[in-house]
């Protein structure tokens, strides 16, 4: 069950997609998590629910609405066309956008939990030691919330690697552009190439197990050394 060049292409594309999405998610998710952890606004519940929606929503439902939104009749589609970016569905960029939305809660929640567990005190202490809010964020908040960020990055990456329904709806099955590992497995099974499917599926299985192992290691350290 040697991997074919097409399989390798799917692996490379998946890693590219997941890495890019994880980096973008950490950048986008951090301010959202910060807001959700500290705000007293009444909108907190609504925004929190919207961010968490992808956890419970069937990926096909999410993919369907994204397809509609990004399509020629959708608001986002018209906007991207007006900007000269063209339409997002069936492109790598579209896949990135969809994956960000799909994996957002898996990144926001661990970071939000870390911010909440930290409380206000370290920030107040930093302020009394003349650190501006921005300096405090980088010298106190980020280091103290590091386990939350590690968990968020691992979950965001793994979740993006494993997505299928959303990709199917919005990205299709275009070699080198949107054909990720889970697509490729599906193709092999469709073609009755069970051996080839095994090669990729076993790889994903091992990957998922290692990810969870890593998560528990981070969680364990966190639990033991988290006290102040």
Partner 1 sequence: MSEAGIQLQCRLPLADFTLEADLNLPGRGVTALFGASGSGKTSLLRCVAGLARPAGRVKINGECWQDDAQRVFLPTHKRALGYVFQEASLFAHLSVRANLEFGRKRIPAAERKVGWEAAVELLGIGHLLDRGTAALSGGERQRVAIARALLTSPQLLLMDEPLAALDSRRKQEILPYLERLHDELATPILYVSHSPDEVARLADHMVLLEQGRVVASGPTVELLARLDLPLALDEDAAVLVDTQVVGHDEDYQLTRLGFPGGVIKVTRKALDVGKRARLKIQARDVSIALTGENPSSIVNRLPARIVGFGDAAHPAQCLVRLDAGGTPLLARITRLSKDQLGLREGLPVVAQIKSVALLA
Binding site for partner 1 (CB under 8 A): 121-122, 124-133, 139-140, 143-144, 146, 225, 227-228
Closest CB 127 distance from partner 1, rounded Å? 4
Closest CB 88 distance from partner 1, rounded Å? 41
CA distance 117 to 112: 9
What does each C-alpha distance from 54 to 4, 77, 96 come to in angstroms? 33, 21, 15
Helix (H, G, I), strand (E, B), or coil: what is residue 58?
coil
Where does residue 7 rank: exposed (0-12), middle (13-18), buried (19+ CB within 10 A)?
A: buried
Nearer to partner 1, 13 or 126 (CB): 126
CA distance 42 to 55: 22
Residue appearing with tokens 């709806």: 169
The 8-class DSSP code of residue 89 comes to T
Nearer to partner 1, 72 or 130 (CB): 130
Structure tokens at 87: 């339409």
Closest CB 21 distance from partner 1, rounded Å? 28
Closest CB 25 distance from partner 1, rounded Å? 24
Closest CB 22 distance from partner 1, rounded Å? 23
CA distance 16 to 18: 6
Nearer to partner 1, 58 or 143 (CB): 143
Nearer to partner 1, 58 or 223 (CB): 223
Nearer to partner 1, 73 or 132 (CB): 132
CA distance 157 to 9: 18
């Amino acid at each position: 069950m040697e991997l074919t060049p097409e399989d390798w292409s799917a692996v490379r594309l998946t890693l590219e997609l997941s890495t890019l999405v994880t980096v973008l998610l950490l950048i986008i998710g951090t301010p959202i998590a910060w807001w959700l952890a500290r705000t007293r606004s009444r909108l907190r519940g609504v925004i929190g629910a919207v961010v968490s929606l992808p956890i419970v929503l069937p990926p096909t439902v999410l993919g369907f609405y994204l397809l509609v939104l990004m399509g020629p009749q959708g608001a986002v589609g018209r906007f991207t066309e007006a900007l000269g970016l063209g339409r997002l569905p069936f492109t790598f960029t579209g896949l990135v956008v969809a994956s960000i939305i799909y994996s957002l809660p898996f990144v926001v929640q661990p970071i939000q939990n870390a911010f909440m567990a930290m409380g206000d005190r370290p920030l107040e202490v930093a302020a009394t030691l003349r650190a501006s809010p921005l300096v405090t964020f980088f010298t106190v908040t980020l280091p103290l919330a590091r386990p939350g960020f590690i968990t968020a990055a691992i979950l965001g990456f793994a979740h993006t690697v494993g997505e299928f329904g959303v990709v199917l709806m919005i990205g299709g099955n275009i070699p080198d552009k949107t054909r990720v590992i889970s697509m490729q497995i599906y193709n092999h099974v469709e073609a009755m190439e069970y051996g080839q499917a095994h090669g990729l599926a076993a790889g994903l299985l091992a990957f998922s197990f290692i990810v969870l192992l890593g998560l528990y290691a981070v969680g364990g350290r966190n639990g033991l050394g988290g006290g102040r």
